[in-house]
Each structure stands twice: as C-alpha cells, then as structure tokens.
Amino acid sequence: MSSAALSRDQNLDLLRAVAVLSVVLYHLLQWSPFDPPWLDGIAHYGAYGVDLFFILSGFLIGSIYWREERDAGQVQLMRFLKRRWLRTIPPYLGALLLAWGAVWYARGEVFDWRYLLFLQNYGPELPYFLVSWSLCVEEHFYLVVPSLMGLTRTFKPIRPVLLAIGVIAPILFRLHDAPVGVTAPFGYYHTASHLHFEGLTLGFALAWLNASRPIWWAMASHAARWLVIPLFALCWVGAGASPEVGYIVMTSCVALLFGVLLLAVAGRRPIAGGAFAAPVRMVAITSYSVYLVHPLMIHIGNIINQRVDFIGNGLTLLIVWPALIAGFGYAFYYIVERGSLALRDLWAPSDFAGGGLEHPLALTVTDRPIAEEIGQVPLVIPLVTP
C-alpha cells in the first residue's frame, strides 16, 4: 500500500493535539506567575504529554519503516534517516536559534555546542531551550532502533528480543539511578535518552503489528479497551506513591497506558468528529512547531504582562498566551516546518512517506461510539480491511 492510499486517522490526530495542549498548559503554569491551585492540580499531569508524543512518534516512524521493509524487501536506511533528519532538524535548529538568541539578549548566555549534536540531555542541567531534551531522545532513537532492525533483517527472531529490551531497560536504568535521580535538578537523571526509550520502542512495535499482522492488530485493539481504565487507575495510584517509586515506574506505566490507548482508539469512529475535526487536525499538524516555540512565547507573554499595566494575569492566560502560541506556532509551521518538508520530499523522495494507519478497523454491526464500548462485552469481533 503506497503512502497515497493512507489517510490521517482522526483519533491519532486527537491524541497528538491532546499531547501538545497538555504540555503547553503544564509549562504555562510552571513558568508563569499565574498559578491557581485548582488548575495547578490538573495541569501538573500535562508533563506526561511528552510520553504520549513518544508513543505517537514511535508509531509514526515504525509505520514507515515496517511498510517499506514489507513491500520493498528492505529499508534503505540512509534514505530513511535522511528523511527523518530533514523532517525534524531544520525546525529544531530554527527554534534553537530563537531560544538562544533570547537568552543571549536577556542574560548574555554563551552558546552551548552540545545542542548541535543533540547531547544536551546528557548534561547535569539544561541551560536553556529545555523542551529540546525530548528531541534528543527521538533523534537518538532514530539512529539506534531502525539501524538495529536493519542489521537483523536476516535474523528476524532476535527482533522481538531487542524491542523488549528497549521497553524494559529504561525502568532498570531508573532503578539504578533512583537514589540520586529523585532529587537531581532537571538534567541527565530526568532527560537522558536511555531513561526514556520505552514509549518510542512500544510505538514502533505497535506499528509492526498494524503493518504486518492485521488480524493480531484487530484482536489487540479489541482487547485494549478493557485495559484502559485499569491502567489509568494504576497510573493514578503510582502518581501518589513515593518519589522513588514514581521516578522508577511512572514513565513506563504511562507509556503502557498510552500504548493501550492508541490501540483502543486508532482506526475507530472519530471521537472528536464533526465541527471538532478541523481544529483538532490543525492543532495536530502544527504540534511540532507549537512544541518548539511555545516556551519562548510564554516568556514573551510574561514580559507583556509585566510591562503593560492594563493586562493582568487573567487576560494574559486567556488571550495573550493563546494568541502568541497559536499565532507564532502557525507562522513557524508555515514558514519553517513546511519548508523543511518540501526539502525532504525534494532531496529524499520516497514511496513510503506516509506514516498513517494502514489497517483501520471496520465498524461493527452495532456501530457504537468508543465511549459506549468501554467496559461492555463486545458482540462482534472487529474485522479488518484486506
């Protein structure tokens, strides 16, 4: 199936929109003077939006990788990596230039050359452009996992073992680092790539299921809805556990929850259809650009709040920040990210460009919305398209 035959899945778009909005809300309250307790208790969990991004990104690049290997016999690894780099690095460099320019102007910050090698997440602390740590994790994942899959193409039985290691190893690394990591500043112990590989690896493995085992995918999707609520409850309990337990297990628990959630909703009737479909799609499409530039827009909003007398915390929260983040995020997408996409398609064209859902589930005879299916005994096993 060529990429042209794949269409965007509205529920995956919704998950991506939820991920970026969660992170933005979390940072709004983290980096602003406006911090109402009733909102802070909710927004605190927005930090896990990054873990949802990891699942979605792993699924996206896995979909591209596994489809090319299945249909072409092997993956042209350098073309695959070139397309990933052209997709992600130019916008990253543009946002890095803006972030460093701002801190250089504000406090004379010297440029840290680790940012050009995606190594800043292995330092004791990130001096600026803090959200870039997750981009480091993804870039390292692009290098390691697809390369390992390519090297093991003639010995495929070892692949599940490698993917299992990618899911399990981070929790063991955090177990080792917990005595120091719990109280360490935001740096290595919270951002190092090997501490966060489980979400990307799990998404990559789910993509294999969707591309290569459609019947298994349908069965797993059908069973996943039974696990969403128990896993959510488990994560809720884990969030209230001791800092040591939270440090060790929460990232893996949340990754598992989001992986099951992806399975439960992908390919089904849109949760946010109708009038909500267009804005959700727009937020999803621009999510990368918004993620890159929203911290700078929050700081600019703080400056406006401090220097313009008639603008208080309420107007800043409801008008200034949304306008800055949405407006500049879209401008950055239109100018920088779309230009990067055009260069990618010009310099590294591919017939396996789309990372969409390949085997959407056919509607059951009851055709019930997802929310009504949760916790109810299914009457019909979902079918898959051939």
State pLDDT tens for residues 187-211: 999 999 999 999 999 999 999 999 9
What's the pLDDT tens digit per position in 213-260?
999 999 999 999 999 999 999 999 988 889 999 999 999 999 999 999
Which residues of the chain are modeled with pLDDT < 70? 1-7, 33-41, 355-356, 359-386
Can you give the pLDDT at residue 36? 65
Can you give the pLDDT at residue 7? 67
* Sequence-ordered alpha helix ranges (H) in the chain: 10-30, 37-43, 49-72, 77-107, 132-151, 159-181, 188-191, 197-212, 214-239, 243-265, 277-285, 287-307, 313-315, 321-332, 338-347, 370-373
Can you give the pLDDT at residue 34? 66
Can you give the pLDDT at residue 339? 96
Can you give the pLDDT at residue 145? 96
- Count of CB atoms situated within 10 Å of the CB of 125: 13
Phi, psi dihedrals of residue 357, rounded to the nearest 5°: -75, 130
Instruction: Please name which of 59, 83, 1, 351 lies closest in space to residue 209, comparing C-alpha atoms.
Output: 59
| pLDDT over 90 percentage in the chain | 76
